[in-house]
Copies of this chain bind each other. A is one copy, B any other.
């Protein structure tokens, strides 16, 4: 294992592998175009739990259990759990840690929490500190909406730019034992605030942060867009990805078909009324641990750059008239034949 500092916050990695991933999602996500690629789809939003907050914990616990089975790893073999979620004081992550009893590194980067967790876990393995690390993130449509906007029971109208917080949890097992997918490099992002104030248009707020991280990742790793089979942003959605394309073009960076977005892919824009597309830490976590990782493992992709994006506001800052800072963390994956 080794870590090479390729730039101020870009690290090249050697000997850090992705052993397995697992994703559990809600019914709305299961009915979307990626539904068949998730490991478990709940038939309703609570699955018998007494609150939406408990439901989110149960969904994350499901993802953990599915992951351990697929990775053939026992909890006792996991050195550290890295994870985060959207709820105040990341209670989904901390409350589920009561059960698994593994040392916990709580992270928060809003919807970019999954790549922050993956990136940190990769550095700790690459630096020789850990053998096996679990990285996870989750969100739940009903718990997030009532915390950040309004209880859904209110039936308020959502503007076209509004994102749909995904009911989704994704968990990945990282290790130092060779497998077909390895972590090639990580770039941690800066906080970029372009002055947007609309919590119903986070895609536009996050696009410049995604650009900043992607551009720095390219510069530090000496790569360009078409070096990757796919560059998947977290949850810019239909509006945000268009903003990113235009914004990048203005700065002299042209993306091709390899650029897409996890949130935009999660729901059917015609059949499913989700406006801008999916969001939430669970969105990129589940889309990666489900369909994207399957495509990598199957050899349908050789190289993937995952760039989860986060809008870093709180209801308090929004009500106090503050702007919405944003961040993006990037993790690059490569496929190899296991020798």
Residues of A in contact, count (CB < 8 Å): 58
Do A3 and B128 have beta carbons less than 8 Å apart?
Answer: yes
A116 lies within 8 A of B127 (CB):
no
Q: Are B3 and A103 in contact (CB under 8 A)?
A: no
Assess whether A51 is interfacial by the CB under 8 Å rule: yes
Whether A84 pairs with B103 at a CB distance below 8 angstroms is no
Within 8 A of B (CB), among A26-51: 51
Closest Cβ–Cβ distance, residue A160 to chain B (whole Å): 25
Q: Of the candidates B104, B116, B120, B325, which one forms a contact with A94 in the assembled complex, judged by CB atoms under 8 Å apart?
A: B325
With contacts A84-B108, A188-B103, A188-B104 taken as known, whether A97 is within 8 angstroms of B129 at the C-beta atoms is no
CA distance A94 to B311 in the complex (A): 10
Closest approach, in angstroms, between the C-beta of A106 and any C-beta of chain B? 4
Please state if B106 and A108 are interface contacts (CB–CB under 8 Å).
yes
Interface window among A228-236, A239-247, A312-320: A312-320
Digitize A91-116: 1 where CB-to-B-CB distance is under 8 Å, 0 elsewhere.
Answer: 10011011001111111111000001
What are the residues of chain B within 8 A of A259 when measuring CB–CB?
A: none
Q: Are A53 and B91 also in contact (CB < 8 A) when A105-B188, A108-B107, A127-B124 are?
A: no
Name the residue on B nearest A131 (C-beta): B5
Q: B104 contacts A190, CB within 8 Å?
A: yes
Q: Please, which residue of chain B has its CB at the minimum distance from the CB of A6?
A: B129
> For A128, what are the chain B residues with a Cβ–Cβ distance below 8 Å?
2-5, 127
B126 engages A116 (CB within 8 Å): no
Are B110 and A109 interface neighbours, CB within 8 A? no
Partner of A91, one of B109, B130, B314: B314
Cα distance, A110 to B79, chains bound together (Å): 21
Closest 5 CB pairs of A and B: A127-B127, A9-B103, A97-B191, A89-B314, A94-B312
User: Beyond A97-B325, A104-B190: 20 further Cβ-contacts under 8 Å?
Assistant: A3-B129, A9-B102, A86-B89, A88-B316, A89-B108, A89-B312, A89-B314, A91-B316, A91-B317, A94-B312, A94-B327, A97-B191, A98-B191, A98-B325, A101-B191, A102-B190, A104-B109, A106-B109, A108-B108, A123-B129
Q: List 15 A-B contacts (CB under 8 A).
A: A5-B130, A88-B315, A88-B316, A91-B313, A91-B314, A91-B317, A94-B325, A97-B190, A98-B191, A104-B191, A105-B116, A120-B120, A123-B127, A127-B128, A147-B316
